[in-house]
Structure 1
Amino acid sequence: MPTGRREVQVRPGVEADLKALTDLYNHYVRETPITFDTAVFTPEERRPWLLSHPEDGPYRLKVAADADTQEILGYATSSPYRAKPAYSTSVETTVYVAPGAGGRGVGTLLYEALFAALAGEDLHRAYAGIAQPNEPSVRLHERFGFRHVGTYREVGRKFGRWWDVAWYEKEL
């Protein structure tokens, strides 16, 4: 799928992607309030996360890579919303786009592939928590039919300040 002048391939994430996916996530840990993790991860520490997203089922990992170089441009996941059994038909979704790959439609391609893969699963709702402010993420989620259902005020503290998280939901 073309974005800008480069072709992007979206596929399931595999073990060979672990280092690149860890590096991408660590950028957000170090540089942004997008995630509330505050310490970077090693690939070994992230392996259980990767393995918890198989190629089938409700918990998926989709990776966007440059078709020529195979450089990872971003990823999207669906993960358990909460651990209790009654939540099993709900997932939490997220998208991370590599620095420099924003504004090229990578997030859109990832969510298209993720929601297409989830279409046959026994799922009722998807939820997304977006640390504020993050207008590009809000626009992406709204484009995919998510609607704002509430905001947790000053729920996380990172970089010496408090951050709000806006919650969005989408019917599946």
Structure 2
Amino acid sequence: MRARIQKTLTTLPWLVAEDTAGTVSGYVYASKHKERAAYQWSVDTTIYVRDDMRSHGVGRALYGRLLPLLAELGYCQAFAGVALPNAGSLGLHEALGFQPIGVYRSVGFKHGAWRDVGWWQKLLRELDMPPGELRTFDGSPF
């Protein structure tokens, strides 16, 4: 996990929410959607909310900081993959404006079974023609 965080923070945000005791209640981050240059304006997002903190607004708050920050950095599209079934995650993503775009069938092995992964997409900002320069995340929240 440390290596993933360090790699992400060289260019993109990784945000963490803490509860009142200072314990991590969730995190959200972005990663490159694809390595090829044509996809540089798109990111994949990952969110995790601790079981006992679900339905307390943690996911909405984390995405509420991440998505505008990605737009400010110049990204245009965000994608989210969700291991199915996961009604809570689907509800969160759709409430935030992500739209379903497809399903990879039996692509991930998790909790002792092959899982489908659904994909959702969100437009972060208007598409410039041609696209503008991307900024690198410098650790500042805004």
- Structure 2 length as normaliser, TM-score? 0.81
Match of 1:104 in 2: 56
Q: Number of residues paired by the alignment?
A: 124
Task: Report the alpha carbon displacement of residue 89 of structure 1 after superposing the two structures with TM.
Answer: 0.5
- Aligned-residue RMSD, C-alpha: 1.5
Task: Report the alpha carbon displacement of residue 120 of structure 1 after superposing the two structures with TM.
Answer: 1.0
Q: Would you say 1:136 and 2:88 are equivalent positions?
A: yes
Cα distance change, pair 124–101 in 1 and its aligned pair in 2 (3 A): same
Counterpart residue identity of residue 152, structure 1: Y
Task: Report the alpha carbon displacement of residue 52 of structure 1 after superposing the two structures with TM.
Answer: 2.2
Counterparts of 1:154 and 1:78, CA distance in 2: 24
Task: Report the alpha carbon displacement of residue 94 of structure 1 after superposing the two structures with TM.
Answer: 1.4
Gap regions ≥5 residues in structure 1: 1-45
Counterparts of 1:165 and 1:158, CA distance in 2: 11
Deviations 1:35-93 (Å, cap 9, x if unpaired)? xxxxxxxxxxx2221112338x5x21111112x32111000011111122221110001
Gap regions ≥5 residues in structure 2: 125-142
Q: Greater relative contact order: 1 or 2 (C-alpha under 8 angstroms, separation 6 or more)?
A: 2
Deviations 1:6-25 (Å, cap 9, x if unpaired)? xxxxxxxxxxxxxxxxxxxx
Counterparts of 2:105 and 2:9, CA distance in 1: 34
Secondary structure of 1:127's counterpart equals strand
1:65-144 matches, within 5 Å, as 65-66=18-19, 68-144=20-96
Match of 1:53 in 2: 8
Task: Report the alpha carbon displacement of residue 118 of structure 1 after superposing the two structures with TM.
Answer: 1.6
Match of 2:15 in 1: 62
Percent pairwise identity: 39
Task: Report the alpha carbon displacement of residue 158 of structure 1 after superposing the two structures with TM.
Answer: 3.3
Task: Report the alpha carbon displacement of residue 117 of structure 1 after superposing the two structures with TM.
Answer: 1.6
- Structure 1 length as normaliser, TM-score? 0.67
